[in-house]
Chains A and B, each alone.
Chain A
Amino acid sequence: SAKQHVVRKFLGLLSSHNIPVYLIDPLILGLIDKDIEQIRSSSDGPSPECKYFCAPRDFTTFALLDKAWKHEVELFRNAEKIGFQWLKFLNKDPRLDGMDDLSGTEIPLHYIFKLASHAIHLVVFYERSGNFLWHGPLRLKQHMDRKSVPFRKLDFGRYPGAYEKPELLLVSIDDLKVQIPKNPSSFLEEMSYSRFLECRYREARAFFQLYPDDASIDAVEFRKRAKSLLHLAALTLNNLGVKFWLSSGTCLGWYRQCSVIPYSKDVDLGIFIRDYKADIIPAFQKAGLPLKHKFGKVEDSLELSFQGDDDVKLDIFFFYEEDDHIWNGGTQAKSGKKFKYLFPKFTLCWTEFVELKVRVPCETLQYVEANYGPDWKTPVKTWDWKNSPSNVQYNGVWPVDEWDEVIQIY
């Protein structure tokens, strides 16, 4: 088939330049996943038919690790020689975006190689701080030919994405040797929530122009502790497979200034109650973070607080989803009063924060505004969690006979 032929030529071209690529095409990986056991076991069984690469599509998607190759003009010359047309999509390097006024050369984010009517979409993945891979968005420039490839249908490039470094497997399918993610189904699962948000570095710089950063020893120390607590929390929750995101002050710090707010005194995380696991508390205790208090219960207003080193607290708020909003609860220990914090519905995105790949609400502005009101850009040092938030609602009082369960302080 013509498609198989194009893929074969493309893979041949890249291997002749020693450039390792792997297949990330969701359609083909989906097909492969169905036969994965068989494909794994038969390393080079001849397959008479073109079962995978001939799926009816105008393009096939591959990934390339930036550090695995050197930008060679020769590659493109040779591509042209064997009949490929190619397009390169450059953009600025996000790894330098957070830096004061560095301007590196632009980096390639995507390539399209086209031969006859079939296109190869090559997505370039970059290593980012936080031990993950990142790919950029695909943006057309004005003078570019928009018709040659159905850009809107491409599976990668609408948004930037974040991925774990994949384990690869060399398989032989449709008479072609190709590398694929070792576990295609988990790659596809990962792909479905891979959207990445860059921190708003420019706005953060503007913020620090207005409110110069606190560089005192205390601030430096707190940030260091908060960072290591966040790293520990992320490690613990990731090991349990519990999804979490930056919430409250930690989220505000990321969104507003791309850093930990030095006077915030704690680290705040959010978890959907549907992702709650009973192992969470013992896992943190095992990690050296004793439970400080537990308010509420799984059915209502659950909130956990762990004691980190040197007086830094880790607060975990559990979020409850309703039809048209999401909320989490608060409890005042001495009175048993309950509070409710309302948020508009949100989805989760990845970001990079203090050298960590973590989730944040994609609709961050609405989230932050719900929590901190329209003046979230102005630093407020005295914060009362019962009155200050603009989304707080009074939510009654816990029945006294439940207090032992819903108000636990250690």
Chain B
Amino acid sequence: MDEWKPNPIIKPHKKRSWYLAWKYKLMNQRALRKLCQTGAVLFLLVTVIVNIKLILDTRRAAYEEEEESAQEYDDEMLNVEAPRHPVSNKKVLDVEVYSSRSKVYVAVDGTTVLEDEAREQGRGIHVIVLNQATGHVMAKRVFDTYSPHEDEAMVLFLNMVARGRILIFTIKDEGSFHLKDTAKNVLKSLGSQVAPFLSWRDMWTFVGKKGGEVYGEKHAKSPALSTWGDPVLLKTEVHLTSVEDAECHWPDTELNRRRRRFCSKVEGYGSVCSCKDPTPIEFNPDPLKDNKVFDVPVAVIAGNRPNYLYRMLRSLLSAQGVNPQMITVFIDGYYEEPMDVVELFGLSGIQHTPISIKNARVSQHYKASLTATFNLFPDAKFAVVLEEDLDISVDFFSFLSQSIHLLEEDESLYCISAWNDQGYEHTAEDPSLLYRVETMPGLGWVLRKSLYKDELEPKWPTPEKLWDWDMWMRMPEQRKGRECIIPDISRSYHFGIVGLNMNGYFHEAYFKKHKFNTIPNVQLKNVESLRKDAYETEIHRLLGEAEVLDHSKNPCEDSFVPDTEGRVYVMFIKMEQEADFITWTQLAKCLHIWDLDVRGNHKGLWRLFRKKNHFLVVGVPASPYSSKKPPSVIPVYMEPPAKEEGAVAAVAAAEQT
């Protein structure tokens, strides 16, 4: 695992109030309620009268001024900047930390900064990072160290936190089962005495300064396997340092001002905030010669996974030919931290009030983002659509620059995508090769404005439809027989693990071993032959040259393909009609490529690499290329799996990205 879980939405600070409790008590008394009501009515009446008078006065004044026509120049919204919160001069923070089976909370100076009592959620170790000078929350994370690998993510995170920050830990439910020694040692090095001995269902709280003093620790042992330790409440004081001491002394440049703003607000981004040797936030990659996509807007679709977004934007801004002014990050929700990341890189970000739920929400967010993109860049004929959990290849823009004219000229094309669904380490080989496929892969793609404006936008699924936008786009009504251009070796890499339709297992199985191009300036070789008719000629040429493999052997075995390099081989599988993918699915499964639904096909033909040889699979008789099959060859038929396995696959397919 190379990333950690994002922090949950940072809730507005809530006053833990004794006064609310009092209010409720009082309200229960009837007489008092009556009195309050009467009082309220009177108060309202007075307010209304005063207001009406005020309005009338203002109107009169306004009309008088109208003579000079100045009124238009006044801002109706009275958009006065709110005064900043006064900086408290307090030098000591009161910190309360609570750990128990079903609830954790952390309060700083009486303000709740964490409260989690949701059932079946938030298990594990909660970590909060406070700024040592201001006491502001800089990061909130929860690591479910009951489950494997989460402790590694925690160690990674803790290592990223700058020295001097205040760290607060508390366990909810269970946090020790997969807490390995490495993690325990890190906690010990922070000053925890209990961490090395934390065990099953213990409750634990700890407050300390990274690389400094310990402010308090409490622990309650679980008496037996079936029960939890007693809840513990730690109350302690933290001494604040001066702002000077809490900040790095970087030279005063515009970039460093952005960096300072970012680093004083959030934590967990490692070397970008390092005092000594901060990692750059401006990349200035080589420009592309004759860049055809310099003026194409780039929409980055983001949710609340700021660490992902950080990684994504770094790779995007490092790609050759990138034009930062064309990038807009669309954040689904009013999350601060993703916006902080966007501002760190000096990009523009737009927040989107969430509408609808889950898949439909993502889908509505996509629509709003695409519409906004074409509004903001009215001249654009295309938009590049990216997601926050993608790495972008160094030649991403070069790849698009060489191929985008096809999308402009060839009506039978639907998109250009940077992602090859079947491009795994062992099945992709040639960075200069492109394909035409009938399926839309997404994950870094180019959308034609006319397709969006004339076809997709007007009938985009409404929120109540709960559809995945990409599934909807792949439907025949939308695709209308058109195809996408993809590279053999993907120009994006899907690193997201935590997502709506993602989990660790799924990612491991289907995404981790995906091939990702790292070579700069790859010259694409067959661009012109990607046009509709030219591609058919090309395929026929390829099939004409291909050697037919020995169909008596098991196609799943490595020995099915001879130990050669750079040859073209073809095999024929059974495919009764256009939608018969029974054998293909089995073949895909045993080749360990995408098998959850059918991807990467072109008229019943799949193209991939095996052992560095181009490997063609033709579905007979449905594919028009069946005529290339020698009469003696009997197409391979592979049985669908036993029922159980099939059911699992079906469920997984329903959940895929």
Q: Which of A's residues lie within 8 Å of B, judged by CB?
A: 67, 70, 72-74, 93, 95-96, 98-105, 127-131, 137-143, 151-152, 157-159, 215, 217, 220, 223-224, 355
Complex partner residue of B376 from A96, A130, A131, A355, CB under 8 angstroms: A96
Complex partner residue of B352 from A101, A129, A217, A223, CB under 8 angstroms: A101
Complex partner residue of B325 from A70, A96, A141, A152, CB under 8 angstroms: A70
Task: Tell me, yes or no, whether B645 is within 8 Å of chain A by CB.
Answer: no
For the complex, give the distance between the alpha carbons of A74 and B346 in Å.
14
For the complex, give the distance between the alpha carbons of A128 and B378 in Å.
6
For the complex, give the distance between the alpha carbons of A398 and B368 in Å.
53
CB-CB under 8 A from B462, the residues of chain A are: 215
**A138 and B73 contacting across the interface, CB-CB below 8 Å:** yes
Main secondary structure of the interface of A (DSSP, over half): loop
Chain B min CB distance to A45 (Å) = 37
**A96 and B80 contacting across the interface, CB-CB below 8 Å:** no
CB-CB under 8 A from A224, the residues of chain B are: 454, 458
| A140 in contact with B350 given A95-B376, A129-B374, A129-B378 (CB within 8 Å) | no
Give 17 A-B pairs besides A100-B368, A128-B378 with Cβ atoms closer than 8 angstroms: A73-B257, A99-B371, A99-B372, A101-B352, A103-B350, A103-B351, A127-B377, A128-B375, A129-B375, A139-B75, A140-B75, A141-B78, A142-B80, A152-B69, A215-B462, A220-B458, A224-B454
| A127 in contact with B379 given A152-B68, A152-B69, A158-B73 (CB within 8 Å) | yes
Chain B min CB distance to A260 (Å) = 11
For the complex, give the distance between the alpha carbons of A138 and B70 in Å.
11
Task: Tell me, yes or no, whether B409 is within 8 Å of chain A by CB.
Answer: no
CB-CB under 8 A from B376, the residues of chain A are: 93, 95-96
CB-CB under 8 A from A152, the residues of chain B are: 68-70, 73
Complex partner residue of A141 from B80, B351, B453, CB under 8 angstroms: B80
**A141 and B79 contacting across the interface, CB-CB below 8 Å:** yes
CB-CB under 8 A from B254, the residues of chain A are: 72-74
CB-CB under 8 A from B120, the residues of chain A are: none
A131: nearest residue on chain B (CB-CB)? B378
Complex partner residue of B375 from A96, A103, A223, CB under 8 angstroms: A96
- Can you sample 29 A-B contacts with CB below 8 Å? A73-B257, A93-B376, A95-B376, A99-B372, A100-B353, A100-B368, A101-B352, A101-B355, A102-B330, A102-B353, A103-B350, A104-B348, A104-B350, A129-B378, A131-B378, A131-B379, A138-B73, A139-B75, A139-B76, A140-B74, A141-B78, A141-B79, A141-B80, A142-B75, A142-B80, A143-B80, A152-B68, A215-B462, A223-B458
**A96 and B350 contacting across the interface, CB-CB below 8 Å:** yes
**A143 and B348 contacting across the interface, CB-CB below 8 Å:** no
| Chain B 331-358 per-residue mask, 1 if CB under 8 angstroms from chain A, else 0 | 0000000000000000011111101000
CB-CB under 8 A from B330, the residues of chain A are: 102
For the complex, give the distance between the alpha carbons of A220 and B457 in Å.
10
**A105 and B349 contacting across the interface, CB-CB below 8 Å:** yes
- Total interface residues in chain B, CB < 8 Å: 38
For the complex, give the distance between the alpha carbons of A99 and B460 in Å.
14
CB-CB under 8 A from B348, the residues of chain A are: 104-105
List the 3 shortest-distance A-B pairs measured between CB atoms, nearest first: A101-B353, A139-B75, A104-B350
Chain A min CB distance to B284 (Å) = 14
For the complex, give the distance between the alpha carbons of A17 and B378 in Å.
26
Chain B stretch 65-109: residues in CB contact (< 8 A) with chain A: 68-70, 72-76, 78-81
For the complex, give the distance between the alpha carbons of A99 and B254 in Å.
32
CB-CB under 8 A from A139, the residues of chain B are: 72-76
CB-CB under 8 A from B257, the residues of chain A are: 73
Q: Which of B's residues lie within 8 Å of A, judged by CB?
A: 68-70, 72-76, 78-81, 254, 257, 325, 330, 348-353, 355, 364, 368, 371-372, 374-379, 453-454, 458-459, 462
CB-CB under 8 A from A128, the residues of chain B are: 375, 378
CB-CB under 8 A from A138, the residues of chain B are: 73
B325: nearest residue on chain A (CB-CB)? A70
Complex partner residue of B72 from A70, A74, A137, CB under 8 angstroms: A137
Main secondary structure of the interface of B (DSSP, over half): mixed
For the complex, give the distance between the alpha carbons of A237 and B75 in Å.
37
**B353 and A103 contacting across the interface, CB-CB below 8 Å:** yes
A165: nearest residue on chain B (CB-CB)? B379
Q: Which of B74, B375, B379 has the most CB of A within 10 A?
A: B375
**B368 and A99 contacting across the interface, CB-CB below 8 Å:** yes
**A143 and B81 contacting across the interface, CB-CB below 8 Å:** yes
**A102 and B378 contacting across the interface, CB-CB below 8 Å:** no
Q: Which of A67, A70, A100, A131 has the most CB of B within 10 A?
A: A100
B453: nearest residue on chain A (CB-CB)? A355
For the complex, give the distance between the alpha carbons of A138 and B71 in Å.
11
**B378 and A127 contacting across the interface, CB-CB below 8 Å:** yes
A74: nearest residue on chain B (CB-CB)? B254
CB-CB under 8 A from A223, the residues of chain B are: 458
Q: Which of B79, B81, B349 has the most CB of A within 10 A?
A: B79
CB-CB under 8 A from B68, the residues of chain A are: 152
B377: nearest residue on chain A (CB-CB)? A127
A221: nearest residue on chain B (CB-CB)? B458
B376: nearest residue on chain A (CB-CB)? A95
For the complex, give the distance between the alpha carbons of A99 and B351 in Å.
12
A67: nearest residue on chain B (CB-CB)? B325
**B350 and A102 contacting across the interface, CB-CB below 8 Å:** yes
For the complex, give the distance between the alpha carbons of A93 and B330 in Å.
15
A89: nearest residue on chain B (CB-CB)? B75
Chain A min CB distance to B312 (Å) = 20
Q: Which of B75, B76, B325 has the most CB of A within 10 A?
A: B75
CB-CB under 8 A from A217, the residues of chain B are: 459
A97: nearest residue on chain B (CB-CB)? B375
| A142 in contact with B352 given A70-B325, A131-B378, A224-B454 (CB within 8 Å) | no
| A142 in contact with B379 given A102-B368, A105-B349, A215-B462 (CB within 8 Å) | no
| A102 in contact with B351 given A131-B378, A139-B75 (CB within 8 Å) | yes
B348: nearest residue on chain A (CB-CB)? A105
For the complex, give the distance between the alpha carbons of A99 and B355 in Å.
12
Chain B min CB distance to A258 (Å) = 13
CB-CB under 8 A from A158, the residues of chain B are: 69, 72-73
CB-CB under 8 A from B75, the residues of chain A are: 139-142
**B375 and A95 contacting across the interface, CB-CB below 8 Å:** yes
Chain B min CB distance to A100 (Å) = 6
Chain B min CB distance to A40 (Å) = 29
Complex partner residue of B459 from A131, A159, A215, CB under 8 angstroms: A215
CB-CB under 8 A from A96, the residues of chain B are: 350, 372, 375-376
CB-CB under 8 A from A355, the residues of chain B are: 378, 453
For the complex, give the distance between the alpha carbons of A137 and B69 in Å.
14
A130: nearest residue on chain B (CB-CB)? B378
For the complex, give the distance between the alpha carbons of A74 and B458 in Å.
43
CB-CB under 8 A from B72, the residues of chain A are: 137, 139, 158-159
CB-CB under 8 A from A67, the residues of chain B are: 325
CB-CB under 8 A from B69, the residues of chain A are: 152, 158
For the complex, give the distance between the alpha carbons of A5 and B314 in Å.
44
For the complex, give the distance between the alpha carbons of A157 and B70 in Å.
11
Chain B min CB distance to A198 (Å) = 13
CB-CB under 8 A from B372, the residues of chain A are: 95-96, 99, 102, 104
Q: Which of A74, A102, A140 has the most CB of B within 10 A?
A: A102
For the complex, give the distance between the alpha carbons of A130 and B374 in Å.
11
For the complex, give the distance between the alpha carbons of A105 and B257 in Å.
19
For the complex, give the distance between the alpha carbons of A369 and B366 in Å.
37
A151: nearest residue on chain B (CB-CB)? B73
For the complex, give the distance between the alpha carbons of A103 and B355 in Å.
14
**A100 and B355 contacting across the interface, CB-CB below 8 Å:** yes
**A98 and B375 contacting across the interface, CB-CB below 8 Å:** yes
For the complex, give the distance between the alpha carbons of A355 and B459 in Å.
17
A219: nearest residue on chain B (CB-CB)? B458
Chain A min CB distance to B460 (Å) = 9
**A220 and B353 contacting across the interface, CB-CB below 8 Å:** no
Chain A min CB distance to B267 (Å) = 24
**B73 and A140 contacting across the interface, CB-CB below 8 Å:** yes
A217: nearest residue on chain B (CB-CB)? B459
For the complex, give the distance between the alpha carbons of A323 and B312 in Å.
65
| A102 in contact with B352 given A140-B75, A152-B69 (CB within 8 Å) | yes
